[in-house]
Structure 1
Amino acid sequence: MTPLRAKMIKAMQVRGFSVRTHESYLAAVTDLARYVHRSPDKIGIEDIRGYFEYLATERSLSGASCRLFLNGIRFLYRQVLDWPGFDVDIPIPYCPKTRSTRI
């Protein structure tokens, strides 16, 4: 386990995140690192924008999935790496709300 991953896990434990949130956030950060072939602490804003374009277009992820990935990555940069200026303007796919058809 890398020191950065251990630090992220510790930060989530301190905040009382659920096990499922741990898994989701770690998966998002791991996927980002694999996409850009670099450690997350060496990734820039343009890399992150490109990653989200890839998620929306090539992987066709829903808006909800993209937001989950964004929240995990945002947590890493704001809370773990203490990058307070991290605020990436990412276009997230729109998820129309479905209405119940019950009568």
Structure 2
Amino acid sequence: MTPLRQRMIEDMELRNLSPKTINLYVDNISRFARHFGKSPEVLGPEAIRTYLLYLVQERQVAWGTYKQVLASLR
């Protein structure tokens, strides 16, 4: 496990998120990083905006999925 992933999981545990939510958020962040082929560490606000537009315009995800991904990327 990368130090960044470990830190993210620990931060989510401090926020008292459920294990299922943590797994979902980690999975969403992994998909985000794979979309760009880069670590989330080097991706910024513009990449997040671009990814969210991709989800809405090209993948046409449901509103609930969009909000879930947005929460994951905070």
Shift of 1:66: 0.6
> Unmatched 5+ residue regions in structure 1?
75-103
> Unmatched 5+ residue regions in structure 2?
none
Shift of 1:72: 0.8
Which contiguous aligned blocks of 4+ residues in structure 1 show a shift greater than 6 angstroms? none
The residue type paired with residue 68 of structure 2 is: L
1:94 aligned partner: none
- Across the aligned residues of Structure 1 and Structure 2, the Cα RMSD in angstroms comes to 1.0
Return the alpha-carbon distance in structure 2 between the equivalents of residues 46 and 12 of structure 1: 23
Return the alpha-carbon distance in structure 1 between the equivalents of residues 63 and 15 of structure 2: 25
2:73 aligned partner: 73
TM-score normalised by structure 1 residue count = 0.67
Alignment of 1:27-66 (within 5 A): 27-66=27-66
The structure with the largest alpha-carbon Rg is: 1
Return the alpha-carbon distance in structure 1 between the equivalents of residues 32 and 41 of structure 2: 11
Percentage of matched positions with identical amino acids: 36
1:2 aligned partner: 2
Q: Higher helix fraction: Structure 1 or Structure 2?
A: 2
TM-score normalised by structure 2 residue count = 0.91
Higher RCO (C-alpha under 8 Å, 6+ residues apart): 2
